[in-house]
Each structure stands twice: as structure tokens, then as C-alpha cells.
Amino acid sequence: MFKFSIVCACVSILALGASSPTQAQALCGKRVDFIKALNDKYQESGKALGISGQVNLIEIFASKAGTWTILVTTPEGKTCIIAAGNSWEDLPPNKNLTSL
């Protein structure tokens, strides 16, 4: 859980601090619209969530086909896609990640 928090913190810093205003506008919108689109277009559903920096909600969505998306939502309600890709795999709960 601690490692997940560190990852979420780094991701939110990158998403909210490193984007130019033009890029941020192109990838941001209403959370409810993103969730509907991810489900309708990619059949992605929520897999994990966490709070980053005690303020930002980080959510991971993935599909059985392997597509995935990471969203960050600020306390003001701004939601942005900060990463997306394919080849998502759920790990068993006891998987030792240090052996990768």
C-alpha cells in the first residue's frame, strides 16, 4: 500500500504539474463522462483507487481485453486522463514484485 501511495503521488505531480495548459484542457473533463466513455468504448471498469497528496483521487480502470486508464480528480472536481495503455494484467494478491 505504501508503494502504491508513492506511485500515486508521483503520477499526480506529473499530471497536474508537468502538463501545459493546452494539453491539460485536451485531457480533462467531467469524471462521470470519462467513466461512462471508458465503460462504453473500452469496457473498462474500476480496479483500484487511492488518495494522493491527501487531496487528489487516483483511479485505475482496466478491461478484460487489457486496456487500462489512470484518472486523477482534484478536490475542485477536475478530472484528467494521466496515462492509458494496453496489456493490463491483474496480479495475484501474493505476487512478489521484487522478482520482476
For cell 494478491, the residue is 93
User: Biggest alpha carbon distance in the chain?
Assistant: 42
What cell numbers appear for 64 in the block?
A: 478484460
Give yes or no for residue 98 having a pLDDT over 80: no
pLDDT digits (tens, 9 = 90+) for 40-78: 999 999 999 999 988 999 999 999 999 999 999 999 999
Q: What angle do CA 98, 50, 24 make, to 5 degrees?
A: 105
pLDDT band (50, 70, 90) for residue 25? very low
Could you tell me if 100 and 75 are in contact, meaning their C-beta atoms sit under 8 angstroms apart? no
Q: From CA 3, how far away is CA 15, in angstroms rounded?
A: 18
CA dihedral 38, 39, 43, 48 (to 10 degrees): 80
Residue ranges covered by each domain of the chain:
2-88
Per-residue pLDDT band at 97 (split at 50, 70, 90): low
